[in-house]
Amino acid sequence: MAPTLTTEGAAQETIRPQFNIDGGGAAPRTLVVVISDALRRALTAPGDPALRPLPDQVVALLEALRAPPRLAAHLRAVHDVAAQLTDALADRFPQLPVDRAAVLFGAATHDIGKVRHPEELSGPGSAHEPAGYDLLLRHGVATSVARFARTHASWQQDGIDVDDLLVSVADKVWKGKRVTDLEDLLVDRLAAATGRDRWSVFLDLDDILDRIAADADRRLAFQATHPVRAPASGR
């Protein structure tokens, strides 16, 4: 883990290599990143229910971009739900081919374009989708995993695979939202992979999503405790 220098008061300086994931290009450079206390809390607070930490590479990128604390909290919530969802599907539908690492990375970065469009953290908008994809590419992320920033709200487009659907479902059910046409697409993939009838598959998936959605209010409360923008003092 990168060494951390604690400064008096508002922020921490973290020394770490420049973010790069499977995208090739030049060797990473060393950067010194000043991180607000608000962002640090969003990335490390345990949460209720407890939330998994984001992948180290994603933490490094969010720190380097000085991401809004609420965005970091949101990405943690959706990433944790994606982990729960993929684990439950692996247990009940082991025949389903899933790239779990890709799904978790996609869930952890799907809204990263809101660094460029912070107004979409508290209001509607889709400008963050292409912006997030471009941002990830510029930071050396491979297109195979950067794509989730662009596809997480476009599940009806051609070329969407089961990993894209899982990121989209996680991005809805984390807050207790159920989207019938999205879930129907996932039911189709599950039925095809298992050879089971759609009704049986639907019942199992519905049970999984109901269990995850039960903690939606607490995840929403966790997200709401983190500000859209870090205070000017850095705290």
Name which of 50, 49, 74, 45 is nearest 62 in CA terms.
74
For residue 79, tell me if it sits in a domain: yes
Question: How many structural domains comprise the chain?
Answer: 1
Is 171:107 a contact under the CB 8 Å cutoff? yes
112: DSSP letter: G
For residue 235, tell me if it sits in a domain: no
Residue 73 sits in which domain range? 8-224
Output the pTM of the full model: 0.85
The CATH code of the domain that includes 34 is: 1.10.3210
Show pLDDT as tens, one digit a residue, over the chain (235 residues): 332 323 233 444 444 444 444 555 555 555 555 678 999 999 999 988 899 999 999 999 999 999 999 999 999 999 999 999 999 999 999 999 999 999 999 999 999 999 999 888 888 878 899 999 999 999 999 999 999 999 998 888 888 999 999 999 999 999 999 999 999 999 999 999 999 999 999 999 999 999 999 999 999 999 999 998 866 654 5
